[in-house]
A and B are shown apart, each in its own frame.
Chain A
Amino acid sequence: MLCLWCPDWPVVAARRADPSLEGVPVVVLDRGFVLAASVEARAEGVRRGLRRREAEVRCPGLVIRPVDSAGEARAFEALSRAVEVLAPRLALDRPGLLFVPTRGPSRYFGGDEALATRLMAGVAAVLVGGDRPGDDEVAEGAGEPDVRIGVADGVFAARLAARRATPGAAFVVPAGESPAFLAPWPVRVFDDDDLASLLVRLGLSTLGDFAGLPEASVLGRFGLAGLGAHRRARGEDEHPPALRVPPPDLELHHEFDPPVSRVDTAVFAGRALADRLLAELAADGLICTRVRVEAETEHGERLARSWRLSAGGSARGGGSAGRLQGGGGVGSSPGSAILADRVRGQLEAWVSRDEGPARAEAGRSADDDLVTSGLTLLRLVPEEVVVAGRSQLGLWGGDRAAAERAGRALVRLQSLLGPEAVTTPVLQGGRTPDEQVAWVPWGDDPPALSDHCRPPVPPGYSDSGGDLSATNVQTSAGWPGAIPPPAPAVVFQPARPAELLDAAGQPVVVSGRGEASAEPERLNSLALPRGGGPVEAWAGPWLQDLRWWDPAARRRRALWQVVAAGIACLVSVEGGEAHLEAVYD
């Protein structure tokens, strides 16, 4: 993951719009308080959050600019396009901060450093010379813009690497070394002051100290938020990579009829759309972590940008804190305020582009004008969702309070017995009852449904499980050779030793062609009451050829359904030895 960060983005954007600000101390004010300050102003002691008068006292000659969120969004859009040329799958976080997955681009450009150098050059061209291609601006000593690039394994580590980086040179953490890179950082870097101060009071002052704690203890003591922070401190992403693919019917769109060319109209619709999207996701127990904003215009132009939606904490610590809080409606959740803010910024970047006359007459190339006509469609597509709370356990139709109560009890048990002891069954593909269920530690994301690892179905085989996702139980029915229902209520793992004997008291063996040596007459196993009994009815043997594609792991066994002494059992015979697999209790 590569993180590209421009500190004090409002100042960068203001300078881009007005090159005369280059080299002079500038601050951007938000309702009388300093929101961002240039390097020159910072050198004089101007800090974020100062009052206007105090800033002026500390730094005579200070140039003060009001917040221009549309200008910031426009400048960021230009930057995004410069990045997009090199790495298409970028995700924006907030103006001035974006993430690029490095896997493809790095290989293409020959390594993380090479990619970072190219990005740096491309971005610098946009920020410094981009507005006036003819002028010899760079020679004026405007210097390179303050762009920092960090590369590391996860989002959190990449963000810190970008903080460590110096302008003009990327800071690359080699793959796999992110935990070591993170270890010396103080716990303050979590955007969670409560957690950080608590950790410090407990004597855990660095990420490395925190990462060294066992997961179960962290969960028991700090709860879900603490577990997320613990994952980040270990260099993993806060949400495990198995993010759920959002159902397609969750995307929302709004059609503009007649087409709109005014920003505020589009933004109004965008905010309503954002609220609705989050409400519908919340009803499904989901949280959106990345959303794609798409727009179409009368002339058939299509625009799309992905935005990361980090948790409320990091947005509060972010550069545009005041506005974010103010931007949200009174009753709406912080999440929807952030999303609405991002949608507004993106729409401003797209739509308000053709407003300024200077912009129109300046020799800006046609591809800079993204929108040449009114918007006809605005669409929000959730690209990544994670399950709210900490588990995939459904809130569908259930009582929310009941789910929370159950969650608290189960988390307490996990801290008592270890995370592995509390599990939930997830149905998956397989032939035998033990294969068809995965026991997922409670709270972990379920493994990707292993439909893709089904063995190839021979041509002509009528695969009745066409709609695998329709119901739980049908998932298993799709496997050829699966044992049909009813399923046994007791499944031994591992299978218990048993004896399947014929009338002469000899073990029943099964030939390679699936023929039994004799009819079974008696089933003995210590797992059965009274040690087993005479076989009353049976069916089988059914041959199973497991992992035939892998010579080392290949197994052949035969399965029997047996009713012995009134008890229905599933028995396997492999290599002359019988095992009791399951009991239909």
Chain B
Amino acid sequence: MVLAGERRLAVPGPLGEIIPGGGLQRGSVVRVEGPAGSGATSLVLILLAAATVAGEWAALVDGDGVLGGLAAAEAGVALDRLAVVRAVPASLYGRVVATLLDGVTVVGATIPRGFRPADARRLEARARERAAVLVAAGSWPGEAALRLRAEHSSWSGLGRGEGLLGRRVLRVAVSGRGAAGRERVAELVTGSCAAA
């Protein structure tokens, strides 16, 4: 017997306070959206951290090979339990994600355009079967138990010709299925130099 609460992975930091239930439901799909530069990648990293904080493993399918490893460490990911898969041919994409779901608890993937709904359903089933979490960024053609949309990031600390990037306020819209269906917008304050 596993209680529903135990099948959740607690999300660390302020994002955990925003997400319904405080964590990721194992065996589900989480969709992360947002235009480039709005903070969507940072959201994915925080969700990956939820796995490594719990002592589990995380993986990221990084098609373009653009992940900043340092940012992952700052987001709280234990790098020694993070695997990053690069250079995945489009024809193998579904297979690679499915293999990762077999062994890794939280799998982040930037879904390429043109990914077929049938493949998406297959991955959903695989995640449910393995009690893993698929964090799908990009154009996910299937259902999702939780949706995070990075709307906008505003930065402080940087002036015209002076200062440094410091605090960031990331506006996130969170919506889910069922009781959590109503969309909530919350502001997430990150950046180590909160004083700046």
Q: Footprint of B on A, CB under 8 Å? A: 392-394, 396-399, 402-403, 405-410, 412-413, 416-417, 420-427, 433-434, 436-437, 439, 442, 472-473, 476, 484-493, 519, 528-529, 537-539, 561, 563, 566-569, 582-585
The distance from the CB of A525 to the nearest CB of chain B, in whole angstroms, is 11
Q: Mark B97-112, 1 if CB is under 8 A from A, else 0.
A: 0011011110000000
**Contact call B70/A402, Cβ cutoff below 8 A:** no
**Contact call B163/A585, Cβ cutoff below 8 A:** no
Residue of A nearest to B166 (CB): A486
Q: How far is the CA of A585 from the CA of B73 in the complex (A)?
A: 15
**Contact call A493/B66, Cβ cutoff below 8 A:** yes
Tell me if B82 counts as interface (CB < 8 A to partner A). yes
Chosen A-B contacts, 23 in total, with CB atoms closer than 8 Å, are A394-B81, A398-B57, A399-B56, A405-B104, A409-B99, A409-B103, A422-B83, A422-B84, A424-B83, A424-B84, A425-B82, A426-B79, A437-B68, A484-B193, A487-B71, A492-B66, A528-B37, A538-B158, A567-B37, A567-B153, A568-B153, A569-B37, A585-B39
The main secondary structure of chain B at its interface with chain A is: mixed
* Contacting residues, chain B, for A406 (C-beta < 8 A): 57, 59, 81, 83, 103-104
From known contacts A486-B190, A528-B36, A566-B152, infer whether A537 and B158 are also in contact, taking CB-CB under 8 Å.
Answer: yes
The distance from the CB of A509 to the nearest CB of chain B, in whole angstroms, is 16
Q: How far is the CA of A28 from the CA of B9 in the complex (A)?
A: 62
Q: How far is the CA of A396 from the CA of B91 in the complex (A)?
A: 36
* Contacting residues, chain A, for B70 (C-beta < 8 A): 427, 433, 436-437, 473, 476, 485, 487
**Contact call B103/A393, Cβ cutoff below 8 A:** no
**Contact call A487/B74, Cβ cutoff below 8 A:** yes
From known contacts A424-B82, A433-B70, infer whether A486 and B161 are also in contact, taking CB-CB under 8 Å.
Answer: no
From known contacts A417-B88, A473-B73, infer whether A424 and B80 are also in contact, taking CB-CB under 8 Å.
Answer: yes
**Contact call A529/B35, Cβ cutoff below 8 A:** yes
Tell me if B96 counts as interface (CB < 8 A to partner A). yes
* Contacting residues, chain B, for A537 (C-beta < 8 A): 155, 158-160, 163
The distance from the CB of A353 to the nearest CB of chain B, in whole angstroms, is 47
Q: How far is the CA of A399 from the CA of B166 in the complex (A)?
A: 36
**Contact call A408/B103, Cβ cutoff below 8 A:** yes
From known contacts A416-B99, A437-B69, infer whether A539 and B159 are also in contact, taking CB-CB under 8 Å.
Answer: yes
Residue of B nearest to A540 (CB): B161
Of B56, B88, B95, which is within 8 A of A421 by CB? B88
* Contacting residues, chain B, for A433 (C-beta < 8 A): 68, 70-71
The distance from the CB of B145 to the nearest CB of chain A, in whole angstroms, is 22
Residue of B nearest to A438 (CB): B69
Q: How far is the CA of A169 from the CA of B162 in the complex (A)?
A: 75
The distance from the CB of A564 to the nearest CB of chain B, in whole angstroms, is 9
Tell me if B30 counts as interface (CB < 8 A to partner A). no
The distance from the CB of A142 to the nearest CB of chain B, in whole angstroms, is 58
Tell me if B154 counts as interface (CB < 8 A to partner A). yes
From known contacts A394-B78, A397-B55, A406-B103, infer whether A472 and B84 are also in contact, taking CB-CB under 8 Å.
Answer: no
* Contacting residues, chain A, for B40 (C-beta < 8 A): 585
Tell me if B49 counts as interface (CB < 8 A to partner A). no
**Contact call B102/A409, Cβ cutoff below 8 A:** yes
Q: 7 closest A-B pairs (Cβ-Cβ)?
A: A409-B103, A425-B69, A567-B37, A437-B69, A487-B70, A394-B80, A406-B57
Q: How far is the CA of A458 from the CA of B55 in the complex (A)?
A: 41
From known contacts A402-B55, A490-B68, infer whether A539 and B41 are also in contact, taking CB-CB under 8 Å.
Answer: no
**Contact call B161/A519, Cβ cutoff below 8 A:** yes
Of B59, B95, B104, B154, which is within 8 A of A566 by CB? B154
From known contacts A427-B69, A485-B192, A539-B162, infer whether A417 and B74 are also in contact, taking CB-CB under 8 Å.
Answer: no
Residue of B nearest to A560 (CB): B161
Tell me if B45 counts as interface (CB < 8 A to partner A). yes
Residue of B nearest to A425 (CB): B69
From known contacts A427-B70, A491-B66, A585-B41, infer whether A409 and B100 are also in contact, taking CB-CB under 8 Å.
Answer: yes
Tell me if B168 counts as interface (CB < 8 A to partner A). yes
Tell me if B116 counts as interface (CB < 8 A to partner A). no
The distance from the CB of A126 to the nearest CB of chain B, in whole angstroms, is 48
Of B35, B83, B105, B160, which is within 8 A of A538 by CB? B160
Interface centre among B85, B88, B193 (most CB of A within 10 A): B85
Q: How far is the CA of A412 from the CA of B86 in the complex (A)?
A: 14
The distance from the CB of A417 to the nearest CB of chain B, in whole angstroms, is 7
**Contact call B164/A561, Cβ cutoff below 8 A:** yes
* Contacting residues, chain B, for A569 (C-beta < 8 A): 37
The distance from the CB of B166 to the nearest CB of chain A, in whole angstroms, is 8
Tell me which residues from 130 to 184 in chain B have a Cβ below 8 Å from any Cβ of chain A: 152-155, 158-166, 168
**Contact call B165/A561, Cβ cutoff below 8 A:** yes
Of B73, B83, B100, B193, which is within 8 A of A423 by CB? B83
The distance from the CB of A246 to the nearest CB of chain B, in whole angstroms, is 17
The distance from the CB of A539 to the nearest CB of chain B, in whole angstroms, is 6
**Contact call B87/A472, Cβ cutoff below 8 A:** no
Of A393, A417, A566, which is within 8 A of B81 by CB? A393
Tell me if B94 counts as interface (CB < 8 A to partner A). no
**Contact call A585/B42, Cβ cutoff below 8 A:** yes
The distance from the CB of B118 to the nearest CB of chain A, in whole angstroms, is 21
Q: How far is the CA of A323 from the CA of B10 in the complex (A)?
A: 52
**Contact call A442/B68, Cβ cutoff below 8 A:** no
Q: How far is the CA of A569 from the CA of B155 in the complex (A)?
A: 11
* Contacting residues, chain B, for A412 (C-beta < 8 A): 99
Tell me if B117 counts as interface (CB < 8 A to partner A). no
Q: How far is the CA of A402 from the CA of B58 in the complex (A)?
A: 11
Q: How far is the CA of A568 from the CA of B74 in the complex (A)?
A: 17
From known contacts A402-B56, A406-B83, A582-B68, infer whether A490 and B165 are also in contact, taking CB-CB under 8 Å.
Answer: no
**Contact call A485/B74, Cβ cutoff below 8 A:** yes
